[in-house]
Amino acid sequence: MTIFPISFIFFLTLSSSYASVQDFCVADYTAPQGPAGYSCKTPANVKVDDFVYTALGVAGNTSNINNLGVTTAFAAQFPGLNGLGLSLVRADFAVGGVSPIHVHRGASELILVVEGTLIGGFIDSNNKVYLKTLKKGDIMIFPQGLLHFAKNKGDTPALVFAAFNSENPGVQLLENALFQSDFPTELIAQTTLLDTAQIKKLKGLLGGTN
């Protein structure tokens, strides 16, 4: 893989970063985190390694229920991103791998298929579904706050990089919210039209209670 695809995503998202009165605000993990994010390191303590992150060069672990390995480069892992309004994720899809339906409350997501074939899609607020088969080199945008997903459609592993216009886009998976929580089974049944047997099975699979 060349450097170009990753650089391309970064430059697409740079325009959304907000202006600052200083050159940068490297995250100080030793200080309390407030609503606006991490406090800034004292410039004298900032090192070049604060602006370098190497974890995305390693494939993620796909030995899980979704056959998906996700490696994040958010401000919580990459201090140099703090305050710059962008971040990056590596997603490794084993054969049959899926990124389940989820939302990012704080950012839009731009994905680039580096290897493999996927089907990507999102649902707008009028419940219209937008689906597309994506191949190597294709990109697709998932607008902020909309339910979306991706699935490996091919018979080989797939690799995707995703860029966000926030250093902390946030994520909530629909299946985890319903079935990995203490949301009462009866209320889920009443509000989703799923039967209780299905709900209990999914809660048992994902670790939810009640």
In tens, the pLDDT along 122-151 reads 999 999 999 999 999 999 999 999 999 999
Q: Say how far apart CA 32 and CA 95 lie, in whole Å.
A: 41
CA distances from 108 to 30, 49, 64, 111 (A): 29, 27, 26, 10
Residues 6 or more apart whose CB falls under 8 angstroms from that of 155 comprise 95
Is 102 annotated as contributing to ligand binding? yes
In tens, the pLDDT along 24-47 reads 999 999 998 888 789 999 999 999
Q: Domain ranges in the chain?
A: 3-51, 55-169, 175-206
pTM reported for the whole predicted model: 0.85
**Mean pLDDT, residues 147-166 taken together:** 98
Is 167 annotated as contributing to ligand binding? no
Tokens, residue 3: 């450097």
The answer to whether domain 55-169 has CATH 2.60.120.10 is yes
Is 175 annotated as contributing to ligand binding? no
